[in-house]
């Protein structure tokens, strides 16, 4: 089961804490441009509606930029946690 909570929000940014359990699939709502900060390591597949997919491995502390998108995460490793800093 995946869990998401709002850590901070104002008129310009929203900060989400997302936890994806081992073996879980997580389809978040459409996301705006954002920065992701990995709190734990992760091993997952990111799938987009156009059938594009990529296998990813992330390290704790890794920071990644993502443009606005719709996607699904299929977790192939242990539970992982990430902060998403989403621009409004």
Record the pTM.
0.85
- Dihedral sign for Cα 72, 84, 5, 80, please: positive
pLDDT tens-digit readout, 57-67: 999 999 999 99
Picking from 42, 34, 41, 23, the residue whose alpha carbon sits closest to that of residue 65 is 34
pLDDT value, residue 49: 82
CATH code, domain with 36: 2.60.120.10
Please check whether residue 77 is in contact with residue 41, taking contact to mean a CB–CB distance below 8 angstroms: yes
Number of domains in the chain: 1
CB atoms within 10 A of CB 20: 25
pLDDT tens-digit readout, 32-41: 999 999 999 9
Please check whether residue 49 is in contact with residue 42, taking contact to mean a CB–CB distance below 8 angstroms: no
Identify the domain containing residue 59 by its residue range: 3-87
SS3 (DSSP) at 8: strand
């Amino acid at each position: 089961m995946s869990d998401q909570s709002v850590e901070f929000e104002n008129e310009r940014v929203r900060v989400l804490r997302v936890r994806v359990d081992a073996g879980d699939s997580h389809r978040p709502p459409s996301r705006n441009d954002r920065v992701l900060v990995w709190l734990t390591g992760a091993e997952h597949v990111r799938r987009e509606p156009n059938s594009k997919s990529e296998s990813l491995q992330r390290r704790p502390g890794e920071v990644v930029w993502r443009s606005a998108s719709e996607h699904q995460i299929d977790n192939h490793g242990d539970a992982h946690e990430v902060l998403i800093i989403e621009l409004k």
